[in-house]
Amino acid sequence: MADIHDNELLRSSIWIYERLDERYKLHGNNAKCSILQEELRDYSGIKNFCMNLTGIFTKFDELSLYHPFDNDNCRIVKYWIFDRLFNQIIKDDKNKNIGDILTKLFPIQQSYVKAKHCDLFNYPKIKDHFNTMKRVYDYATDYNAIDVYIVGKSYLCTENMRTFVNENDESYKKVKAECDTSNNNETYCAVLRHIKNWDVNKKLSNKLTCRGKPSPETEVATHAIGAQGIHLHGLGNNEQPSTELHAEDTHIPVSTPVISVIFPLFGILFSFFILYKFTTFRRSLHARFMRKVISAPQTDEELESEKEFSEKIYKQVNRDSESSKCYIGYHPAEYP
């Protein structure tokens, strides 16, 4: 069975059993429990269990267990007794028998008036049968709390939680299917009678579902790997820069965008200068310009601006021409 540890999930079943483990021990009967320990020497932990149990018997009419559905303290204590005996005292030791313990506990119970009316020892004597019964009982006890928890997590849960929910749902459906048939005489079918009148009983047929997400350990590891990759890519290069990358960087001129603009502009201006100075383009341009002047007279200010602009272009072209060391040998013919 998958185990889950999440402080945000408050499971009543866990809280109740832990309360029975801890709250009533101080009221236990040391004399009775010492005798029991002598009689059951092979059962490690039996005295501690007895101190809890006799303390519970002493305060039986004052038990505050706050079960969400079950107000029968006898039944709740009975689940606690069998669970602690099977899973903490006997465990997997096949040489130990729960019947040997129960026969010793019955006289102790009868000595407590407040608890003697409870039928505490008639549950399944087979460990697997009891664990199946308890699993369904606890699942029904915690169903609403688990439902609220999953909804609060937007139906995202760890793999352990998803496994826990699936296993408990399967256990409930298996027990229900078996106990609805001729096998309803099995002792663990009593659990269905226990929860039959609980408000949650109708909900148990609706499987709780959630989508798995990485466990906290996986999320931390993934985050660490991602952070390390970012560090190596971003900060690591500053500490130990790659010579190959550095070499590539030094070959990239800073003024590349400026040159990409100047070179084409220089080519255009130089071509314009050649056409203007050494071809008939100047005469045609001059004629066109004169026609424009005649048709649209310009002011002295406009003419001066054009003259300055033309001179700047001419000087710029000459400078660019000289700096590029382009020498052109040409003998212009005399114009007629």
Q: What is the pLDDT of residue 311?
A: 54
Question: Per the domain annotation, does 187 fall within a domain?
Answer: yes
Could you give the CA distance from residue 166 to residue 172 in angstroms, rounded to a whole number? 10
Model pLDDT for residues 211-246, shown as the tens digit of each residue: 877 555 545 544 444 444 434 344 444 444 444 434
CA distances from 11 to 4, 19, 89, 146, 315 (A): 11, 12, 24, 8, 91
Query: Do 67 and 7 meet the contact criterion of CB atoms below 8 Å apart?
Result: no
pLDDT in tens, 141-165: 999 999 999 999 999 988 889 999 9
Gap between the Cα atoms of 136 and 188, Å rounded: 10
Compute CA distances 164 → 1, 159, 311, whole Å. 7, 8, 89
Does 5 fall in a domain? no
Find the domain containing 42 and state its range: 12-213
Domain shared by 139 and 268, yes or no: no
DSSP characters over 109-122: HHT-TTTTTS--S-
211 has which bridge partners?
A: 156
89 domain residue, yes or no: yes
Same structural domain, 18 and 147: yes
35 and 131 in a single domain? The answer is yes
**Is 220 contained in some domain?**
no
- Provide the 3-class DSSP secondary structure of residue 158: strand
Residue 284 counted as domain residue: yes
Which residues of the chain register pLDDT less than 50? 218, 221-256, 287, 289-299, 301-302, 305-306, 309-310, 312-336
Q: Do 23 and 119 share a domain, yes or no?
A: yes
Give residue 94's Cα distance to chain centre. Answer: 42
Asked whether residue 110 is assigned to any structural domain, the reply reads yes
Per the domain annotation, does 329 fall within a domain? Answer: no
| Number of domain units in the chain | 2
Regarding whether 36 and 121 lie in a shared domain, the answer is yes
Contact predicate 111/121, CB 8 Å: no
CB 222 within 8 A of CB 214: yes
Measured CA to CA, the distance from residue 83 to residue 98 in angstroms comes to 11
Query: Do 205 and 315 sit in the same domain of this protein?
Result: no
For residue 330, is it within any domain?
no
CB 86 within 8 A of CB 130: yes
